[in-house]
Structure 1
Amino acid sequence: MKIHLTSVFVDDQAKAEHFYTEILGFVKKHDVPVGEQDRWLTVVSAEEPGGTELLLEPAAHPAVKAYRDALVQDGIPLAQFAVDDVRAEFARLRDLGVRFLQEPLEMGPVITAVFDDTCGNLIQIATEPQ
């Protein structure tokens, strides 16, 4: 068994597509219309195009707002992405205007940082030092 697809709820799929591809560097994998306004919109790592897909899922379900608001209020990231060097990625993203809520922080054997994805979520990046 392996993880094939996971999702993040987003307020606006077009805005999310821009952020996740143009800022974070993911690559669009699927973009299929679903209904009148929504899309089955997935992205993958440019480093692993056949890897796990991230669905940029519309946040339309009534439970989503309360769930995401509670996570953001408590500073809990919705997802975590692995990077080779958190400090370098932090600097790159900050230079692109990404708003960080937690700068790089050593947490035992890992270094993490947390940012706002502009789509209603907190995302953590992490690396395990060699």
Structure 2
Amino acid sequence: MRISVMSVMVNDQARALKFYTEVLGFVLKVDVPVGAGGERWLTVVAPDALEGTQILLEPLGFPPARVYQKALFDAGIPAASFGVDDCQAEHDRMVKLGVTFKTPPTAMGPVTVAVFEDTCGNLIQMAQMM
């Protein structure tokens, strides 16, 4: 077993694609229309792992998903965690791009983490292993 696709529910797929590619640096992997409402099977991958795990930018078409996403956000719980080589450098770069951070880089034993908003209804954690 291995993870091939993981979902991040987003309230706007176009805005999510822009943020996840232009700000976070992922690259578009798959963009296929699905359904009559304009939804897409929209995935991105890390630029150094084009055949690696895909992140599905999943539309919030299922009403309970909206409640769940908001509950996570309101509780300060990240929807996903992404690894970085240098948490402070990524934080500084992203702040210059206007990203809102809920938690600045914080050392927690063998890991440094920061939490930011993805502009699509989620908190995302980035983590640097020491």
The TM-score, its normalising length taken from structure 1, stands at 0.97
Paired with 1:35 and 1:125, the residues of 2 have a C-alpha distance of 32
Deviation (angstroms), 1:71:
0.9
Percent of aligned positions that are identical: 55
Corresponding residue pairs, total = 129
- 1:98 & 1:34 partners in 2: Cα distance? 30
Structure 1 segments, 4+ long, off by >3 Å, are none
Q: 2:9 is matched by which residue type in structure 1?
A: F
1:9 partner SS: strand
Q: Distance in 1 between matches of 2:117 and 2:77?
A: 11
2:41 is aligned to: 40
Q: Distance in 2 between matches of 1:29 and 1:42?
A: 5
- Please state how far the C-alpha of 1:62 moved relative to its aligned partner: 1.0
User: Is the counterpart of residue 79 in structure 1 residue 86 in structure 2?
Assistant: no
Which runs of 5 or more residues in structure 2 are unaligned? Answer: none
RMSD across aligned positions (CA)? 0.7
Which residue number in structure 1 is paired with residue 7 of structure 2? 7
In structure 2, distance between residues paired with 1:91 and 1:48: 24
**AA matched with 1:89:** E
Quote the offset at 1:35 in angstroms: 1.7
Cross-structure match for 2:19: 19
The one-letter code sitting in structure 1 at the alignment partner of 2:116 is F
Q: Deviations over 1:71-122 (max 9, x none)?
A: 1111110000000000000001111110000000011110000000000000
Match of 1:113 in 2: 114
Aligned equivalents of 1:35, 1:67: Cα separation in 2: 22
**CA offset at residue 56 of structure 1?**
0.4
Unaligned runs of 5+ in 1: none
Determine the C-alpha separation between the residues in 1 that align with 2:7 and 2:70: 17
Q: Secondary structure at the match of 2:57?
A: strand
Calculate the TM-score normalised by the size of structure 2.
Answer: 0.97
1:32-88 CA distance string (max 9 Å, x none): 010230110000001111100000000111111111111111111000000000000
In 1, the alpha carbon distance for the partners of 2:27 and 2:46 equals 6
